[in-house]
Amino acid sequence: MAPELWPNDELTRLANRYSSDKGTTYNCAHGYTRVYQALLAPLRESPLRMLEIGLVHGQVQAERPQDIDQLACPSLRMWSDYLPRAEIHGLDIVDFTRFTNPRATVWQADQGSRPELEAVAAKVGGKFDVIIDDGSHASHHQQVSLAALFRHVADGGLYVIEDLHYQPADLEMPTITPTRDFLRGLPERRPGMRLAIDQTEFAYLFENVQSIQFFDSISSRWPLAASADALAVIRKKGRHPVLPASC
C-alpha cells in the first residue's frame, strides 16, 4: 500500500486534501506528487506559468454542475496553494469556467483539436514554463496536444504527460501507437510508429526535445509492470532561468 505521505512533502498533503489522484490517498493514488515535488519545491516562490489539461471527472461534473465550486479542479486548487506566485491555467473539454479561484484561469477547449488549443495559447499569450496533460489519456489526444502546445513551452521548460499506462477503451484508437511507446521511440526516431501527428510536428519534437524521463505510478490498481513509465517529463531544449536541469 502506498504511504500516505512522502517525507516532508507539502505537495502530497495538498493533493490528498483536495482529493487529487496525483497524491497517495484518493482514487488511483498515483503518487506523482513525489516527482512534481522534486522538480518544483525549490521554485515555490517563482512566478511560473503553468497549464494543466484535464480538470478531473468531466462527465460526472457535467452531470452535477452545482458541485463545480466544491468539487471540481482539485489540481488547480493544489497548485494555487503550492505555487503562490504562479500564473495557473486549466483546460478541459467540459465547461468548468464556473470554477472560481483568484489564482487560476479556466478555459474550455478540446485537447484533440489543434485550432482550439492554439486559440487558448493565443489568448493566454507568451510561453508556459510547465504544461501537464492529465486529460482524456487517449493516445491520439495526448499526441495532438503535445504537437500543438510544445511550441508554447519556454526554453528549458517542462511538458508532463500523466497516466501513460492507461488508455480508456471507449476513446483509444487501436491504429495509433500508444503515447508511451511513441515517447520511448522518439529519441531514436523509431520507424513503424503510427501517430496522430504529421511529419512536420514530429520533426519539431525531435529537434526540440532535450530529454524524456519516465516515472512509475505507485497505484495499487495495476501490477507493477503495467504501471511502469506511467508519467513522462519531457524537457525542452534551452536553458530555463529557474527550472532545474533534471529531476
**Residue 56 Cα distances to 157, 182, 209, angstroms:** 24, 25, 28
d(CA 13, CA 245): 25
Residue 202: phi and psi, rounded to 5, are: -60, -45
What cell was used for 151? 511550441
CA-based angle 29:35:37, to the nearest 5? 100
CB 52 within 8 A of CB 75: yes
Residues serving a catalytic function are: 137
Core vs surface per residue 102-121: b (16+ CB within 10 A) or e: eebbbbebbbbebebbeebb
